Amino acid sequence: MHPKIIGFNPSANTPPQDMKKFLIVGLGNIGAQYENTRHNIGFKVVEELAKQEGVSFESNKLGSTATFRFKGRTFILLKPSTFMNLSGKAVKYWMTAEKIETANILIITDDINLPFGTIRTKAKGSAGGHNGLKDIQEKLNATNYPRCRMGVGAEFSKGRQSDYVLGEWSAAEERYFPELLDKGAQLVKSFGTAGLERTMNQFNGTIDMTT
């Protein structure tokens, strides 16, 4: 007699979802010309986390991925190769391939509506004019997916938004990168182990830039 697996429907077309598996998506654009731009801070955060965990990204379908385990959870890091405006295609593919539900994904992205150094993690929300989030929203047909917004400021004149987010960081901003990226990396692990609510309470805020 086979043991009964609670919650498993043998007639279903797909296996049950793994509640301890998380898809962490850093948004950005591929290519050396975009590597150090403000729009790529999502890439930077997942790269920092991969470095801390001693894993490397490998080219895969619709993006580069790296996987590690922490406190019984599996974290799949994804850098989409679809370019920012088509991020949803990669997110949906990997959610389906790894059978990860919406509550277990975290999208890390830049946000011009927040000052540089500010982090805001939310359970849901609008795209807020961000093309990457807009495409994810359209592909998933949902707005209730967790996202971590990393402030990049809005120091640009009218009509120059694209130049600003695709511009490189200033030396003054890069000075605070180690603390900012480490905080983002720790936030991801908290999301998977402590949950979204506790993570928001602990990590939402602005890093100290008075020193």
Distance CA 103, CA 135 (A): 18
CB-count exposure of residue 37 (10 Å: 0-12, 13-18, 19+):
buried
Number of neighbouring beta carbons within 10 Å of residue 12: 8
Nearest to 79 by CA among 99, 69, 94: 94
First to last CA, the chain: 66
Please tell me which residue in 21, 39, 44, 183 is annotated as part of the active site.
39
Label residue 9 left, alpha or beta by phi (over 0 means left) and psi (-120 to 50 means alpha). beta
Known catalytic membership, residue 39: yes
The residues that are catalytic are 39
